Chain A
């Protein structure tokens, strides 16, 4: 019987996971690998609702604690770091003029359309709202986050950061707040935001903690408060893995020296 490895992962990890799968397939040629990507919260909820997978890799360590531990996962490995950037393309409005000083003015100009992912489905959406709050504080612009929120509604909010990036590359959005690794995956241009607001650096944990966002919790009428923290990615073998040994070998590949090089090549900072 053909052996199967089922991998469920955050959309942001599409490129590295595909490369790991390709490499793994060379090692286990008879192995059938199934890969599926969603927003991290959606991935975790699917496992909670009974979906069988061997490996789960998410863009937020807190989701492991909130949804998956200890019923569905015993332990998880924090393996990489990233940051939020403002991504755009050659055809985005004002692309020739935008820089680290004027990005807010350009986003708020009437002709510009920008997007993000949904905070309920995807940690990147939640983190974008945290970035906006921190930007208001950092630039001392009262009311900034509300102005950004009111300009970025409805069809400018996507299920995952990957979809927002795709919309930029296809011209439906001028700009999107996404992870740097996703911007790299799509070959998009980007503005790097100040470290105090881009959620990349553990040295600014205390500053990040000043921002928080309320999202719908796991139970009806439950509200979770998400506080600002550095962006970290984590991976685990699930408790209901059907192919535990193969799953552990895949995990070892991701955490190996070779894995570090692949992650770095995909724009992540490997641990």
Chain B
């Protein structure tokens, strides 16, 4: 059964939870603020995201998450050298990460019930 949430950003997260991209971005940004380049490399190394981390997909999602108020971005500049747009989690972003954990837990529970039933019927 599909649940409709009041907040559009939660609906978006719930609809795309299987791909694990938004939870993964929220997870890494909760640990440390990062720029897109670094996030792409981290996602590629992580073994829990179903989406191929191509730059177009990642930057589009980051922009959407910023529009939804889950993250904020600012240019990370020193006095000299290169500057990159850096992303940081907001309090709504932390709440969204907790929401993702809840959704994933529910899914894991259901999958475990399925596996148990399958196992017991096979005996």
A positions within 8 Å CB-CB of B: 61, 64, 69-70, 74-79, 81, 195, 200-203, 205, 230, 234, 255, 260, 269-271
Contacts and interface: CB of A to CB of B under 8 A. Distances in A.
B78 A201 contact: no
24 contacts: A61-B82, A64-B82, A69-B80, A75-B77, A75-B79, A75-B80, A75-B81, A75-B82, A75-B83, A76-B83, A77-B84, A79-B85, A81-B55, A200-B54, A201-B55, A202-B37, A202-B41, A203-B40, A203-B43, A255-B85, A269-B56, A270-B59, A271-B35, A271-B59
Interface in B14-60: 35-38, 40-41, 43-44, 53-56, 59
Contacts of B79: 74-75
A234 to B, nearest CB: 7
B75 interface: yes
A161 B33 CA distance: 36
Q: Chain A interface mostly helix, strand, loop or mixed?
A: mixed
Given A75-B80, A203-B53, 10 more contacts: A61-B82, A77-B77, A77-B82, A81-B59, A200-B55, A201-B40, A202-B40, A230-B37, A255-B75, A260-B63
A70 B81 CA distance: 8
Q: Chain B interface mostly helix, strand, loop or mixed?
A: mixed
Interface residues of B, number: 24
A184 B44 CA distance: 28
A269 B83 contact: no
A202 B36 CA distance: 9
Closest 5 CB pairs of A and B: A203-B44, A202-B40, A77-B83, A271-B85, A202-B37
A97 to B, nearest CB: 27
B41 A205 contact: yes
Given A203-B40, A271-B36, A76 B82 contact: yes
A195 B54 contact: yes
A75 B78 contact: yes
Nearest to B43: A203
A201 B37 contact: no
Contacts, number: 61
A199 to B, nearest CB: 11
Contacts of A201: 40, 53-55
Interface in B82-112: 82-85
A269 B59 contact: yes
Contacts of B80: 69-70, 74-75
A64 B44 CA distance: 28
Contacts of B59: 81, 269-271
B51 to A, nearest CB: 12
Contacts of A203: 40-41, 43-44, 53
Contacts of A78: 82-84
B84 A69 contact: no
Contacts of A81: 55, 59
A205 B53 CA distance: 13
B57 to A, nearest CB: 10
A271 B58 CA distance: 10
Contacts of A200: 54-55
Contacts of B56: 269
A69 B81 contact: yes
